Amino acid sequence: MTEPEPLQQIDRTFVRYRRRKLSYYSGCDYFRLASHPRVMAALQTGVKKYGLNVAASRLTTGNHALYRELETRLVEFFDAESALLVPSGYATNLITAQALAGNFSHALIDERAHTSLADAARLLDCPVLRFKSRDAAALAQAARRCGPAAKLVVLTDGMFSGDGSAAPLAEYLALLPRDAMLVVDDAHGAGVLGRTGRGTLEHAGVSRDRIIQTITLSKALGSYGGAILCSQAFRHRILSQSRMFVGSTPLPLPLAQAALTSLRILKSTRTLRPRLLRNAARVKTALRQAGLALPDAPGPIIPLLPRHPDEAARLSRSLFAAAIFPPFLKYPGGPPGGCFRFVISSEHNDAQLDNLIQVLRRHLTLPPASA
């Protein structure tokens, strides 16, 4: 996998690429809070007030009051019993697995789960079985293979990053034994899905009783770091059993300050999520009318798989000519040849969206590229 060319973000929906200003439909900053003036000001204030780094584990001398405040606000926003900040979204799943290790006979993991969940599964000290993505019947079959006495933990994304689809959590809970647990990596769903933005759990209408929800602060919240939303008992277990948490320096305090501000904006600006969903629906509806088969997915992500390798280059040229950055990605777990992944944000304006629709409609009417 080769390193891509660097991009320069120049404002909330544009990047500079190859010396041109281009509309940007990629990444995971769904509300563009990473470049929100209030969030950037909070970061700058945090640097002046706190410096960059506590330079110590939270279990020694690095447990700053700001971390506790952010955890309290996350508990309130997501209606969780407890929250624990960790250095990154990737680390949430590894730390969770270290605290769960030895408590289950089998782990069942969605075949399209994020690589952090796949790495976490290896830490659970039990056999790991894969099941067909988002397929409750396949999960039930995998559970039966483990035997009637099995104690199960299921690992799945909440909202899948490739196409914005959501795991059927209610179906999973209905078929699993009462002592089974779900670890839901809700990096993409948190802040985006659900009536109030609490993520895939709220979208699915399920309680937290048997679920650990891991989230990142770097996507919808536009900052950095991760958090584990769980019970108080499990939080205490992490503190005593996760060597990764114990041995890690927490996220820089200015970024915690920025995340607090992002959370306040997300909670108080009631137009953000409706605008995001409306923008995504506008593009999806237009492309379906043009004949593109899109998954019935709640997330603001539009995948487009080229029918031939030459087609990827052709569409990239068309997008670039229309002043749109071509979001063609080759990502672990995605299509082997790569695909276009268009991410719609709350901050794209109508003119930008119409321009994207026009280019993609024109592309869909062309015959497939020949070999």
Cβ burial, residue 117 (10 Å; 0-12/13-18/19+): buried
Lowest mean pLDDT among 29-33, 114-118, 200-204, 290-294: 290-294
Question: Distance between CA 112 and CA 183 in Å, rounded?
Answer: 14
Name 109's Cβ contacts closer than 8 Å, sequence gap at least 6: 117, 118, 121, 128, 129, 130, 131, 154, 155, 156
**For range 13-33, the mean pLDDT:** 96
Question: What's this model's pTM, rounded to 2 decimal places?
Answer: 0.96
Q: pLDDT band at residue 368, thresholds of 50, 70 and 90?
A: low
Which tens digit of pLDDT belongs to each residue from 180-189?
999 999 999 9
Phi, psi of 280 (to 5 degrees): -65, -45
Which tens digit of pLDDT belongs to each residue from 282-301?
999 999 999 999 989 999 99
Q: Give all domains of the chain, ordered by start, each with its CATH number.
A: 8-30+270-365 (3.90.1150.10), 37-268 (3.40.640.10)
CA dist 284 → 97, 235, 277 (Å): 37, 40, 10
**For range 347-362, the mean pLDDT:** 97
What count of other Cβ atoms lies within 10 Å of the Cβ of residue 363?
18
> Is the model's pLDDT at 50 over the cut of 50?
yes
Q: pLDDT band at residue 196, thresholds of 50, 70 and 90?
A: very high
Q: pLDDT band at residue 4, thresholds of 50, 70 and 90?
A: confident
Q: pLDDT band at residue 1, thresholds of 50, 70 and 90?
A: low
The closest of 36, 66, 72, 39 to 53, measured between CA atoms, is 66
pLDDT score for 180? 98
pLDDT score for 238? 98
pLDDT score for 370? 46
What count of other Cβ atoms lies within 10 Å of the Cβ of residue 7?
15
Average pLDDT along the chain? 95
Phi, psi of 294 (to 5 degrees): -110, 145
